[in-house]
Every structure is written in C-alpha cells, then in structure tokens.
Structure 1
C-alpha cells in the first residue's frame, strides 16, 4: 500500500491486491495493476509513504526488499522525503534469549531489537527488517524507514486465530490447544495496529524499530478457552504438536506463530503515541466485542424464522427444508421438552453422587426443579405448564448453536401470551426506540403463517398413508381436536401474529392450497426469498466432495439417458425409414403389376389381328425366303408382303 498527501491534508491510498479479481475497497483510490517491477517502481517513486505488510503473505518479503532497494537506488530522482514502513512480525524475536536468565518474565522492548533471534521459519522476515533499517540510515533527508514488530493480529474477520473462531462457530465439541498452552502469545487488534501506523506517519518518531503489541500477556490456553466459552461449547482439549501438524485447518506459518512464547512491551507506542485503543487489554478481556466483529466481518449473523399454521398445514415439512438449505436448527417443542427433561434427570442423578460438592449445588437445584415439574404434570393431566416449557425453549434459543447459526421455530408459540413471555426482554435489556420491548437475540426475523381451509386439511390427512398416520395425532378425531384448539388460540381479534405486528415484524401469510408442487417446494422457495441469502461458511470440504460426486453421478446418468434416448430415437427413425421403404417397394410392385396387366389387356385385340391377318402371310414369306435364299432377305420379305397384301389385291 502507498499513500500520497493531497492538498486537503488527507491521504490518497493507492495499493495492490493479491487477488485482482476482488473488488476495490471503498477507502482505496486506485488499485495498481502492473506487469513488471519497473512499472511498479514508477508508482512507488510518485508516492510519499510506502507500506509493506509481510506478516500474512511470505511472497511479499522479496517484493518489499526489492521496493525499498529500488527507492534507495533512485534517491537522486527524489525531491520530497519518502517514508517506507515495513510491518513485520514478533516471530523475528521468537528465539531471543531472555534478558535475565533468573527472571524470564522481563519483557523485550524496542531497545533490545539488536539482540533478537528469529524463529527458524522466519529468518527471511528478520533479513528484510535488517535491510529496511540499513537503507533508512544512508540519506534520512530523502528516505526514512520504520520497522514494526507486530503481535499476532485479531479483530474483524480474524486471521491467525480464524481456525479457532470457525471451529467454535460450527459448534465443535472441543477446541484444540496446541502443546501445553502455557506459551505467552503477543497480540494486537488490527485497528490498533493501524493506529500505530497512523501515528508513525503523523509524528515520525525517532525510534525506527517499534514493537506493536497490546498490554495483554495471555497464554494460548487462555485465548482458546475464552474463544470456546464466548462462541462455542466452552470446552477445549490439548493436542500434541505432532497431532496439530496433521490438521488441514491450519497452515505451518500460523502454527509457528501460535506456539510463540514471548513477553513484549510496546514502550514507544504507549509512551510516545496517542492511540484510541480498540483493545488495549487484549483479546481475552474484549472477547465479546471481538466475537461480534468476527461475525459481522464474515457475515455470520444468525437467521431466525418462525413457521406457524393450523395442524396438517405442513409446518414441519417447510421448517425441515429451510433448516437443510440454510444449515439452521429445527426447533420442535416436543424435542426441546424431552431433551431438557433428560438433561435435568442426568443432572439430578448426580445429587446423591460422590461429586456432589464439586457441582456447586446445581445437581440439587435441578433435582428440586424436576420434582416441581413432575408435580405440575400430575396436576395438569400429564402436561407441563407453559412457564416450564417457555423456560426450556428460552434456554434452547439462547444456546450457542442457535445464537451462532440461527433456528426455525416450528409451530410454537401457539398463543399470544406464550409469545409475550417467550420473547420478553431480559431485565437489563432495553427495547429499540419506537418498538415494543423484546429479546433481540431470539426474536425471529421472518414470520410465516400457513393458511388453508379445514376441508383441505381434512382431505390432506385422509390421503396420508396408514404408516404415516399410525401413532400420531393425524387422525380424523385428532385433527378435529387440534383444529378446534388452534381456532380457540387464534381468534379473529387476537392471534400470535398480532404480537409480531406490534413488534413491527410483519408476518407473511401464505395460502398452501395454491402449492401444487411436491413436498411444498413452492412455499419453501417463497420463504427462502423472504429470508434472503445464507449466512454461513457454505458447504464443508466433505460436503463439497459429496455435492461434486452427486453432480457427477447426475451428469453420467443424464448422459446415459441422452445416449439411450438418442439410440432409441435413431432406432425408431431407422424402423420408420425401413417401413416407408417397404411400403414404397410394395406400392411400386403393385404399380408394375397393374401396368403389366393393363398392357396385357390392351394388347389382346392387336394380337388377335396379327394372328389372323399378319402372321400367316409373314410365316409363308419366311418359308419362301428360306427356299429361295435371296441376296437380300429383308428386301425379298418386304416385296413378298407387299404382293400378298390383301388391300393391294
């Protein structure tokens, strides 16, 4: 990246992009597309400030060294002082010996940069730093250089820590921590690193080698644990370095950086710069903000939907397909209740166990709650009261999976009172201005009401196979009862939809009788248009492989069908041609036969005439010719026929 200071005092940013197919960032004035280094060199000479980041792409190291060397060789052409900033990494310090063997916790500072020893895989970074520092000392009036030893960056879409955030967001049961996790990892928020660069440009400090890290001294274990607790299951496990290297989710360079063990102090940054810190105390202390930044940058905000409608209207059919397409969690109230009761029973069973003291009384509380619920069920003919159902459902919707990916509520809440209690805001939450107060973390973004006449629903249930109906409420009596309950809960004046209207989340009402497709695919497509594009990482590598395999099978099957269809078509055409040829041949034979018969019929009078009047005379003439043996038999025969012609006589 390079910058020019314009007349208004603002910087005009000119940069290069590794992937030239990506769109230009809004803050960049121009993207340089060059074919040769000479072309790039001309751009660099025209810029006031040149910044090279070699922390993410090792291929940039050689170009950065070339760039600063090229500028140095063109100093005679430079009139205005140039600034060259190299953003490097603390891995060039990774093998440095402690400042005090008796006190290894003393942090390194900028003053110790000459003592730094790089990680074996980051020697090129160290060499680039030396080159930049060296060339910046020869003619400070025309070119000044700075090197920034940056901590591991986080914030935004994440970089080095991305594999941890991704695994936690995908609800991986346990996040992996490499080694024993006790290594101290120097870190800095990406916006704070940008602020350091901005301060260097503005104040031009005398110190030319700067350390850029936040105040945290977090270990890898602390970082993994806080990411797992804030975004995932809260669990982690330690794996060996050898096992970690076999993982496909992390590259060697990232692996090396995560295992760095350094205590560093950014003295110049803290004492000589004025920075409005985004995360001065580190990733652990600011994990909630960092998680939100990660979700927004990666567009991983959850999708939440509610599908309601009368019984047998296809709510579960639609919800299931939406969950499959968007990779959301299908929330069915029966499953929520069963899973919650099972969890309570497991927890309550530990109340009398040996680890009762280590449970902080939770097992006893769950046991007491379970007893209360059982008493409530006995009083309500086996049904659990709404207050417990809603409690279980709120816990489910607030779980990390539902908060990460989102969910589709299938038919619950059924009444407006249930909706008010379920989506009620927490005591410390405030409703949005101009709207009712509700829990924004679980409120559906899309509400769909499926509608159909009772007769249509009865007809649909009656046409269901016996195997599907058996053991369910989808019988004629069961449907009648459930329809009556649905109408009682949703009168003309008061329905669940009224609650969402009051919250300014306007439901979409769909008539399912117009859907003539299989499996209600038309309704599903309509709802998908309402919900918008998916907000996830898309298919995994295994899923992509399966999709490609299915597409290949479809392609092969399609080609076989086309080939079979072509062969069948060609065979039909050949048979048709043969039939037409046979018919033509048959007709031609008939014509020939008819012509022959016609000619035969027409020739009878002439033949009779010839046999009576011509053939006797001709025969006698031939006999005479044989007797006489004239020199010209033809002339003789002609003369004979002329003389014997009856007309002549």
Structure 2
C-alpha cells in the first residue's frame, strides 16, 4: 500500500464543474469526510468526529454563473483569463482537469500543468495535478496476443497504448502530464515528488447518476416512442465502462494515497459488449426490443456528439490492475452496468426527476371523464388506460400469438388460446374476472406506465374491485403501480341527462347511454359512492385524498378553470423538457398556426372590404343616378324659369334700358350710373305710356340672352 499522509482540509479545483462528469465527481468528493491518515496519529484522533468534517472544498469553472452556486461548490468562476486562472490554481491543493467529455479543455489543461510546473518554486504547500482522461487514448492499440483476444490491456503497459485518431491531443496531453511529474521527481528526488505530483486517470465510458454517453439509449427507452431501440453496427465491440461515482472514488484514492504509478486505468470489471448494454437498457426501461442498424446511421442522430460517436465504436478489453492492487475502492457498480441495471435506472429516474405520475379518475357516466383524461395525458405525457381498450388490445395480441404459433414454444400458444377464451367469455359480463384484472394490472406495470405514469379512466368503481386490482402479495410491487392521485369528477343529474340528450345517436349506442341503461348506470354509481366501503374510502385508507371536481358546463371558460385546478393539484410535468429539435418544431407549429390564423383573418378582412366596396359602388351608382335625375329636373326648371325671365325683361326692362344706355353713351355724363338711374326713372313706361313715334322696342340694341 502507498504511504499515508496526515489528513488536512484540501481545496480542490475541477474544470467544467457544471458538466455531467465533473459535477458528479465534485458531488462525490464534497461528501468525503476528513479522515486521519497518519498511522501514528490515527489512534489519537476521535474517528467519529473526523467523519463529520469535510475533506475537500470544491471550486471550479463553469460555462455560466448561477444565481446561487450549488451546495457542493464553494466558489465558481466563469471563463477566467490565464492570469486569474493561475492565481486560482495556486490557491488549491488539488487540481483536477477533466477532459473525458470535452476536447475543448485539452489546450487549457496543457497550459495549466505547464504553468504550475513553472511556478513550483513558489508553492507554499504540496500540489497534486490529476488529469482525468479517457480510454480512447488506447482505442487503436495493437492486441497484446493476436491468438488470445481475451487478454486484457492493463495500465502497467500504458506506454504501448495508441490513441484513436480523434484523440491524438488527449494522448499528447497525457504524455505531458506524466513527463512533468517525472521531471519534478528527478529534480526534487529527496522530497520524493512531494512538491508537485501529477497523475493520469484514464476513465472508461461513464454511466450512472443521470447518464452521460449512454443517455440517448436511456432516453429513447424511457420515452417509449420507438418499438425497438437501435444498436448501431453489430454490437459485438467491448465497451470499457465505469460508474461516475466509482471514477470519483478512484480520484479520491489518488488524492489521498498518492501512489507511485503515474498512470492508472479506471474501468469496472464488466467488459460488456455494446449489444449487451443496449439490450439490458431496452429490457428494463423500454420496449424490450432492439434492432441492428448500420453504424453509419448513427451520424444521423442529432443527440450524439462526434466525440461520443467515436467512443461508442471502441473495442477494448481492459483491466485496472493499479486500482485493484493499490486501493481499497468501495465500489458502487464494480460488476458494471448490466449487472447493476436496476440501480442505475433508479439513479437515472431520480437524477433527472423522471418520476411516474399515476392518476385514477372517477365519476358518473357522461360527466366527461374520457375527455378530461385525454387532456391530462396530453399535458403530462401520460398513458390513458381504459378497461375496454386494454382488454381488446390484449385479445388482439393473443390472437396474433394463436394464429402464428412458435414451433419451439407450443405451450405459449396454448396458454394464449386459453386466456383468449376466458376473456371472450367474460367480455360482456358486468363482473370483472381475475383474468381481466390481470390484463389491466400488466398494463399498469408495463415499462411505459412505470416510466411516465398513467390515467386510469373510470375504474375501479367499487371497494372490492379496487382491492382485487391493487392488492398484491408483493407489497413493494403494489406500491409502484397504485395511483397517487384520485380525481373525482361529478355533476348534477340534470346536467348529465342534458349531455346525453345532446349526444349523437351513434355515440349513445357506442357508450351504452340509451335512456334506461344510462339511468340505471347513474343510479348504480350513486349507490356505490354512498356505501360505507366505497372506492373512495379505499383510496383514503391508502392516504390518497380525493380531489373533488365539479363539471358545470362544457364552455371554454369553465373547462379552463377546471384544468387549471387539476394542473395546480398535480404539479408540474415530471418528464423531459422539450429537446431543441422539439422546441424548433413547436415554434414552427405555432408560427404556422399564427400564419394560418392571420391568413384567415386577412381573408375575412378582404371579404369584408370587397363587400364594402360592392356596397360603395352600388351606393355610388344609386347616388349618380339620383343626381342625374335631379340635374335634369333642375335644368328643365331653369330652362322654364329662363324663358319666363327673358320674356319679362324683353317686355318691361330692355327697351327703356337700351334707350338709357344709348343716351348715356351719347351724352357721356360725369356720373354715368346716376345719369342712367335718372334716365330710367324719368322714362319709366309705367309712368309715361309709349307714344306712336317712339322707336321700335329694341331701339337697335341687341337683346340680352340672345
């Protein structure tokens, strides 16, 4: 065993502390208690007191600063410059650089180890630099014995490793880190690497605590949308893996024990193939079916990075001999993912908050349970379970098995035929058989319902049915599929009767809502609810408090208020947030709906404008016609009036006026108007009747209006 050192509180830096791998390593180290590691002083310290002391203070870089750092982080830094970063590293006892997931950190890690090496003379205390690399720096290594393909690679022959072409920078950095450690050791030989120790930990592909590289397969299985989970390639390649908590435990042991070897492999004992990994994930979490696809198809997957795709092609059988021989690691999943899949799946669900939401919705006939169930399922992405649909679907599946029997499994076909006969006999019965309850129970315990949850619609209706359905000899199993919410939707009898009356005849017959049947079913429901041991009292015994809801009408405002109350009671969805692609698709859908709505509004507006234009044209034509008629009447009136005026003037005014004008022109008085007025006044024919010798009427003066 390596030499032990006296325990002191260590300040630990880790890069990208908000990434999957670094975050989980930081969480693990933050929980490590301060131990007394000096053998001579171990008995003098109070061990129990030491276990309550934190061994590591975690600081690190993040991509974005949070409003409040997580509890496992003492300080976080966002994109510090080199000068600031070096100052931060100089204050730390341990520097962890994790490049197992992010190739962009290779350059910074290379600069950091060199900068620290250059500043070693200024160290006030010992420093440890640990590079967390990846087994991809071994990916192209030549087999040790071509005749023995099962001979594993070990970290004792790390100098023979050969990197995957995409991981050349990783292996170059590994060599730099090892070289720096050796140079310090040779320069400070008397101090035996005490001043600045460097290590490389080559990590297997990491899993657990919410998942890293295998997250795509977990997510695809959990969502249940695919009928089979994809295995890219033949799946025979061996994947070196390690649980991220076990990787953190290895790092902890390196920090505490500072072993002599510079290079350590961190892999579990599994040596599982890609096919084994995907199949076990699909069986426990998904549809239990897998399908092999050409490996080239993986490049169409937008959720996997190029680095992850390269890593999934690795084919290495490895053994971590240094970890096994030097440390007493408290393994979390030493046997690997396949052997510990139930534990890993539970971590996956808890870490990502993917907890099932199980709901039972009850109510009288025609109250709207199915409509409400569909809306809840759509909002929370749950599975809608009705007794009739579930049994019919099971019967259809049994018919397929009976019609296409497997020659090697005749007993399966016989059992399917027997169950099918039993279901056919009991399908029209009001009482539920044990076989029907088993079919319903199997549906509720399917992977899909265990993942997302379900809404059980209109069942059970009695205490006995609830007891038969949910009571199970295995109490733990029963708790995993029993509803956690009971919604009771009710309405007045008159409201329900009105709803049935307004249904189509086809719907009434399909749902069995004929007047006599409906009233009978309604009465039975009311009687069952009023019983001392009702289905509601069964749930109350399980501490499931019923949520009473009232349907008042089917109008949108009332429905929205009802759904708001339900969503408030059930809480936020416990499923994946939309992926970037889903967000984009949803935005596209909303944009299309908006464009469609705007187009419809424009069409209505254009139709309205066209109608107004037609009305304006009609009004204009009507006004024009009316105006023309009025003008013609006015012209006719003016013509008549003009003739009368002309006749009057020619007879009574023009003769005298003409004479006055002629006289005015002949005399040319100083005041012509006064002269003319005086002339007209003196020669008014009404005062002086015309004489026979007077000149003709017009006196040679042209008649006006001619």
TM-score, normalization: structure 2? 0.77
Q: Is the 8 A contact 2:155 2:265 kept in 1?
A: yes
Q: Is the 8 A contact 1:446 1:530 kept in 2?
A: no
Query: What residue is the counterpart of 1:62 in the other structure?
Result: 107
Q: Is the 8 A contact 1:318 1:520 kept in 2?
A: no
For 1:385 and 1:363, the matched residues in 2 are separated by 24
> How far did 1:64 drift?
1.2
> How far did 1:168 drift?
1.5
- 1:197-216 alignment runs, 5 A limit: 197-216=251-270
> How far did 1:69 drift?
2.0
Are residues 639 and 529 of structure 1, via their aligned partners in 2, closer, same or farther at CA, if it must alter by over 3 Å? Answer: closer
Query: What residue is the counterpart of 1:337 in the other structure?
Result: 391
Q: Is the 8 A contact 2:536 2:546 kept in 1?
A: yes
> How far did 1:152 drift?
0.8
For 1:365 and 1:519, the matched residues in 2 are separated by 49
Query: What residue is the counterpart of 1:163 in the other structure?
Result: 216
Query: What residue is the counterpart of 1:308 in the other structure?
Result: 362
Instruction: Give CA-to-partner distance per residue, 1:286-315, whole Å, 9 cap, x none.
Output: 100100111112222111111110110111
* Structure 1 unpaired stretches of 5+: 431-437, 591-607
Query: What residue is the counterpart of 1:224 in the other structure?
Result: 278
Number of matched residues? 620
Q: Classify the secondary structure of the residue corresponding to 2:148.
A: coil
> How far did 1:235 drift?
2.4
Residue 141 of structure 2 corresponds to residue 96 of structure 1: yes
Q: Is the 8 A contact 1:174 1:237 kept in 2?
A: yes
Query: What residue is the counterpart of 2:324 in the other structure?
Result: 270
Query: What residue is the counterpart of 1:598 in the other structure?
Result: none
For 2:673 and 2:420, the matched residues in 1 are separated by 139
For 2:364 and 2:80, the matched residues in 1 are separated by 65
For 2:402 and 2:673, the matched residues in 1 are separated by 139
TM-score, normalization: structure 1? 0.83
The counterpart of 2:535, out of the listed 492, 496, 499, is 496
Are residues 456 and 467 of structure 1, via their aligned partners in 2, closer, same or farther at CA, if it must alter by over 3 Å? Answer: same
Query: What residue is the counterpart of 1:597 in the other structure?
Result: none
- 1:588-607 alignment runs, 5 A limit: none
Instruction: Give CA-to-partner distance per residue, 1:37-68, whole Å, 9 cap, x none.
Output: 33333322332222111111111111211221
The counterpart of 1:516, out of the listed 533, 547, 555, is 555
> How far did 1:550 drift?
2.7
Q: Is the 8 A contact 1:373 1:384 kept in 2?
A: no
Are residues 574 and 211 of structure 1, via their aligned partners in 2, closer, same or farther at CA, if it must alter by over 3 Å? Answer: same
Query: What residue is the counterpart of 1:289 in the other structure?
Result: 343
Instruction: Give CA-to-partner distance per residue, 1:500-532, whole Å, 9 cap, x none.
Output: 111111111111025532894543343222222
Query: What residue is the counterpart of 1:550 in the other structure?
Result: 589
Q: Is the 8 A contact 1:45 1:71 kept in 2?
A: yes
Q: Is the 8 A contact 1:317 1:520 kept in 2?
A: no
Q: Classify the secondary structure of the residue corresponding to 1:177.
A: strand
The counterpart of 2:439, out of the listed 392, 401, 410, is 392
> How far did 1:615 drift?
12
Q: Is the 8 A contact 2:362 2:488 kept in 1?
A: yes
Q: Classify the secondary structure of the residue corresponding to 1:274.
A: coil
Are residues 637 and 118 of structure 1, via their aligned partners in 2, closer, same or farther at CA, if it must alter by over 3 Å? Answer: closer
- Between stretches 92-101 and 19-28, larger displacement belongs to 19-28
Residue 228 of structure 2 corresponds to residue 174 of structure 1: yes
Query: What residue is the counterpart of 2:512 in the other structure?
Result: 473
For 1:292 and 1:147, the matched residues in 2 are separated by 31
Q: Is the 8 A contact 1:149 1:210 kept in 2?
A: yes
Q: Classify the secondary structure of the residue corresponding to 1:32.
A: strand
- Between stretches 324-333 and 1-10, larger displacement belongs to 1-10
Are residues 625 and 131 of structure 1, via their aligned partners in 2, closer, same or farther at CA, if it must alter by over 3 Å? Answer: same
Q: Classify the secondary structure of the residue corresponding to 2:153.
A: coil
* Structure 2 unpaired stretches of 5+: 1-11, 15-25, 35-52, 185-192, 631-647, 683-706
Query: What residue is the counterpart of 2:478 in the other structure?
Result: 439
Are residues 332 and 565 of structure 1, via their aligned partners in 2, closer, same or farther at CA, if it must alter by over 3 Å? Answer: closer
Q: Is the 8 A contact 1:79 1:142 kept in 2?
A: no
Query: What residue is the counterpart of 2:88 in the other structure?
Result: 43
> How far did 1:164 drift?
1.4
Are residues 577 and 386 of structure 1, via their aligned partners in 2, closer, same or farther at CA, if it must alter by over 3 Å? Answer: same
Query: What residue is the counterpart of 1:408 in the other structure?
Result: 455
For 2:244 and 2:672, the matched residues in 1 are separated by 131
Q: Is the 8 A contact 1:61 1:124 kept in 2?
A: yes
Q: Is the 8 A contact 2:357 2:452 kept in 1?
A: yes
For 2:296 and 2:673, the matched residues in 1 are separated by 124
Query: What residue is the counterpart of 1:2 in the other structure?
Result: 13
For 2:507 and 2:558, the matched residues in 1 are separated by 15
For 2:198 and 2:307, the matched residues in 1 are separated by 26
- Between stretches 404-413 and 339-348, larger displacement belongs to 339-348
Q: Classify the secondary structure of the residue corresponding to 1:442.
A: coil
Are residues 35 and 385 of structure 1, via their aligned partners in 2, closer, same or farther at CA, if it must alter by over 3 Å? Answer: closer
Query: What residue is the counterpart of 2:60 in the other structure?
Result: 15
Give the root-mean-square deviation of aligned CA atoms: 4.2
For 2:394 and 2:606, the matched residues in 1 are separated by 60
Are residues 616 and 53 of structure 1, via their aligned partners in 2, closer, same or farther at CA, if it must alter by over 3 Å? Answer: same
Q: Is the 8 A contact 1:185 1:220 kept in 2?
A: yes
Q: Which has the larger radius of gyration?
A: 2
